[in-house]
Structure 1
Amino acid sequence: MPLPHTAISSCSGYIYQGKIAVIHCLKLFEELGEEARTLELEIESLDDFAIVNPDGSYRSMHQVKAKKETRFSSYIEALRTQKRDSALHNDIEVYFHVAKSIVDIPNNFSDTFEPIQFYKYLDNDEQEIDACELDQVDLLNESQAKRTYLSLAQQPYKYNDE
């Protein structure tokens, strides 16, 4: 007898997506300071999430994939869709987030899928990484929050574990 269908996997995917959106929003505050307050986070509209400028234009669009798969071919349809959708918006930054490092990205990726970029995260040691593992998303969120609070000159109690 087959198991009943549940929404557990899709629910987990949405939670992961939301945590990735938080990492990116915190990064924007780190980079832009108070100016980031003028931006809006849009979820499940143009893409999995998007950042909207004060004038209503899109600043960036983000596709988030929480797959265990590491082969490029597993992502190609989503990349094609994102490329097509991004063509409707001038000067938009386009990011593709993955939970596992993709091992066989073609050498001509940039030319073929421009303007898409694979999102880069900073780990605890401030080293750039190309994937946010499912079991690391909370740690990366905490690290980004700390960097953001430091850059905004917030009180140490906001980012220390003490």
Structure 2
Amino acid sequence: MTEELPDSAISSWGGFVYQGKIALFHSIKLLLDESFEGKEVKKFALQLDSTDDFAIYSDGIAISVHQVKAKASPYRSAFEKALNKSSKICIDCCPNTKRYFHIANEIDDSSDYENEKKAIVEFYKYDEDSYCKLGWCFKKYAGIKRIHY
């Protein structure tokens, strides 16, 4: 008789933790900046795992939607399906809603993704980088360059 072990949730749990940390990072950045895309934003709501992996709402409108991936692949092709899905998010969005894609590792092509309807998904920028390692995140506030989790 062989004993079957349950599927491990470690990788999905790690991705969920990473997603939460990225959502907090972006929210703290908004709180400190008090603006988004040149518009004053003093009140906003963070919504997790609904509109997308997370979304920022202001006055009932999603001002930004965010897809977060902790994959180790260095190839953009590993993210194409998720980029396409992110480009089609439209719940609570307006024409000015920004779509962002967060990744944990550097990839071969982090240029904007554009779907057939011209919806654009931008790779989120952490200072000059378009990725944020699982163990740290660039931060330019309070003189701190890296935050260790």
Please give the TM-score of this superposition, normalised by the length of structure 2: 0.78
Letter in 2 for 1:132: C
RMSD: 2.5
Residue by residue, what CA displacement relative to the aligned partner does 1:54-112 show, whole Å, maximum 9, x if unpaired? x2111100000000001111000001111111487221011000011111357xx4554
Distance 1:37 1:147 in 2: 23
Contact map agreement 2:83 2:113 (CA 8 A) in 1: no
The 3 A distance-change label for structure 1 pair 4 and 135 is same
SS in 2 for 1:50: strand
Aligned residues: 135
Higher strand share: 2
Distance 2:89 2:114 in 1: 17
Answer with 95-104 or 4-13: which moved more: 4-13
**Moved >4 Å (runs of 4+):** 109-113
State the partner residue of 1:18.
20
Distance 1:84 1:36 in 2: 25
Question: Which of 58, 67, 72 is equivalent to 2:71?
Answer: 67
State the partner residue of 1:76.
80
Letter in 1 for 2:57: V
SS in 2 for 1:94: strand
Letter in 2 for 1:68: A
Distance 2:66 2:88 in 1: 13
| Paired residues for 1:1-150 under 5 Å | 3-32=5-34, 36-53=41-58, 55-86=59-90, 89-90=93-94, 91-105=96-110, 109-112=112-115, 114-122=119-127, 128-137=128-137, 140=138, 143=139, 146=142
Which structure is richer in relative contact order (CA contacts within 8 A, separation 6 or more)?
Answer: 1
Contact map agreement 1:30 1:147 (CA 8 A) in 2: no
Distance 2:80 2:61 in 1: 27
- Structure 1 spans left out of the alignment, 5+ residues: 123-127, 149-162
Letter in 2 for 1:94: R
